[in-house]
Structure 1
């Protein structure tokens, strides 16, 4: 069995075990050379078959395997916008999805830099305006946004996180869910996020992005 396929299947089981993939929601992909391996439509992440993944080209053409998740345009958009990315995780995890239903903290990040780990593992996370799941125009917006990010919240839908490895993408998705849970716990208070200079320095050191320095409502 291909090690990359096994890694993707193990990641799905891990995320499902954490309760971040209710029912058959969520989809994962990994880039393998000139192919993108993606979970098939209707797949339960807790029971992924490593041998039954969809294979696509980076432009989204389905070339082998079962029918891909309808979210394939979102996955390929991340790979096209940043050649360094190797894996994408899209979930409907509870807290991150809840935050996707709220006004964003700033135009470049739906969440403030509440913890160093959010900045180190995720970085700024724009709120992408609502579209129906699988909408290619939404994916095109993600691809063409003119600032750096490795994760986003799809408005009224859920989180998507990418990384330079499957582990990095999974870690980002988990950390994004944790940051969202903290934000909800702090509702009605006046939290003290990290100072902008500290957030920028952490992002620089850990290879993420942070230039969302001005809080205020508004989507990208």
Structure 2
């Protein structure tokens, strides 16, 4: 499974959805999850870059797991997700900074169809506040944006979570350009 995580990590970096050492990826396996280690370069993930931790409580390995492990646990506890991708997509972050009403409304047809309104939530990195806010948003959406931070997307498999990440970034890019042209 670490090879699948590695493949998605490389795609995220190659497409500019994250810088190498930012973001994280996890997969649920029963009552446990595989999650990238803190500080891992997503385009260089090896077997040693992934750690297995429990879903129901923190454990000793949390110290080396991603700082967002608490957020991943909350998402798995409150959604049907089996895979999570957290990225720092530049247009999604930009649009979250410009957002005034708690959600971004895509103007492109794909975004409207596949995403609907994209929730923008708040909370500190790896905080219980963020865990609660993002898991609540993902209970009814397949992707959401953390204000000034990045995206979380869920799926039944990693590829699905990756596609949701790319769709959010695409819709945010189109909306940014649309708003810019409209307000000239």
Question: TM (normalized to structure 2)?
Answer: 0.88
- Aligned-pair distance for 1:152? 1.1
For the 8 Å contact 2:34–2:51, the answer to whether it is kept is yes
* Larger radius of gyration between Structure 1 and Structure 2: 1
Which digits, 9 at most, give the CA deviation of each residue in 1:161-217, with x for residues without a partner? 1111111000000111111111110124559xxxxxxxxxxxxxxxxxxxxxxxxxx
Alignment of 1:162-173 (within 5 A): 162-173=154-165
Residue of structure 2 in register with 1:77 after alignment: 74
Q: Does 1:37 align with 2:34?
A: yes
Q: Does 1:48 align with 2:45?
A: yes
Counterpart residue number, 2:25: 28
Q: Could you say which structure has the higher strand fraction?
A: 2
Establish whether residue 134 from structure 1 lines up as the match of residue 130 from structure 2: no
Q: 2:107 maps to which residue?
A: 114
Does the aligned pair in 2 maintain the 1:55–1:62 contact within 8 Å? no
- Aligned pairs (5 A) from 1:80-95: 80-82=77-79, 84-95=80-91
Partner of 1:156: helix, strand, or coil?
coil
* More helix per residue: 2
CA RMSD of aligned residues (A): 2.3
Of 29-38 and 131-140, deviating more is 131-140
Could you give the per-residue CA deviations for residues 86-140 of structure 1, whole angstroms, max 9, x where no partner exists?
1111111111111111124x54xx22132332244434321112x3211112212
Distance 1:13 1:156, change over 3 A: same
Say if 1:101 and 1:146 are closer, same or farther in 2 by CA, change over 3 A.
closer
- The alignment partner of 2:176 has SS state of helix
Structure 2: gaps spanning 5 or more residues? none
Contact 2:62 2:69 in 1 (8 A): no
Equivalent residue, structure 2, for 1:178: 170
- Counterpart of 2:151? 159
Alpha carbons of structure 1 residues 127 and 173: separation in structure 2 relative to 1, 3 Å: same
TM-score, normalising length: structure 1: 0.75
Q: Which residue number in structure 1 is paired with residue 97 of structure 2?
A: 101
CA distance in 1, matches of 2:62, 2:128: 21
Aligned to 1:186, the other structure's residue is in SS state helix
Task: For residue 61 of structure 1, report the CA deviation from its aligned partner.
Answer: 2.0
For residue 25 of structure 1, give the secondary structure of its aligned residue in structure 2: coil
Per-residue deviation at 1:30? 0.8
**Structure 1 gaps, min length 5:** 192-220
State the distance in 1 between where 2:135 and 2:89 align.
Answer: 23
